[in-house]
Amino acid sequence: MPHPLPSGPEQRPIATVDIVIVTLSEGALRLGLQRRDREPHKGELALIGGYVRPEEDGDIEASARRILADKGRLTGLYLEQLRSFGGPSRDPRGWSISIAYLALVPEATLRAAETRGAPPFELIDPDRCPRLPFDHGRIIAAALQRLRSKASYSTLPAFLLGSQFTLPELKSVYETVMGTPLNDSAFRRKLMEMHILEEVEAKAAATAERKRPAQLYRLAKETLTEFDRTV
């Protein structure tokens, strides 16, 4: 059955990018959502997203980074592409594709973006998320599944922290993402064996919980490292 070739623009679906911003607030995972500033669904909480712009974007990740900069005043984030969602009814404007990304962002980075003019990020508990427009609920479910399934064998959770952190802070974020307590010495040993951390010269100041200054670390490379699964 030969079909006519639908390469003409009039037969093309709408192509968009949506980014699931995940942050850590008071030790708990939170979604960073914004209220939409235009129709459809104007005023509703939703993922940050926008169109792929062939005239501007070098690739799909460039679309995501442009949207994050324009609408969220966010640059230099760690981004991971999830999967694409598409169909006739997910967007009232027509048959559309959304290429979904996961962005892990420290809360301080979101607050700094707001001081540079970004509309407020509302931090929502993913387990108590209201019904969202489009299929954003489904996209968020895919993002959380990716984050949790990769946590145990990669440095992914570390991107929820700032550039420098103590080992107890890092352990805590892994525990939060994985939803399970980790053995302290096994966690330290695994990290040290993997050579993914570098000591930072400065130390974290003493606090009420921490009587002495603590050693600070950073990721040896600010890219995602997958742990050797056989370790």
Binding site residues, its own copies, CB under 8 A = 1, 3, 5-7, 9-15, 38, 51-55, 58-60, 63, 70, 81-88, 93-95, 97, 99, 152, 229
Q: Which amino acid is at 229?
A: R
Query: Which residue lies nearer to its own copies by CB, 71 or 203?
Result: 71
Query: Which residue lies nearer to its own copies by CB, 80 or 107?
Result: 80
Q: How far is the CB of 84 from its own copies (least distance, A)?
A: 5
Q: How far is the CB of 43 from its own copies (least distance, A)?
A: 17
Q: Are strands 197-204 and 45-46 parallel, antiparallel or unpaired?
A: unpaired
Q: Are 142 and 82 in contact (CB under 8 A)?
A: yes
Q: How far is the CB of 209 from its own copies (least distance, A)?
A: 31
Task: Calculate the CA dihedral of residues 71, 73, 77, 79 and round it to 10 degrees.
Answer: 0
Closest CA relative to residue 167, chosen from 137, 145, 196 = 196
Q: How far is the CB of 5 from its own copies (least distance, A)?
A: 7
Query: Which residue lies nearer to its own copies by CB, 90 or 171?
Result: 90
Query: Which residue lies nearer to its own copies by CB, 85 or 165?
Result: 85
- Helices in 4-131 by DSSP H: which ranges? 60-72, 107-115
CA distance 186 to 164: 21
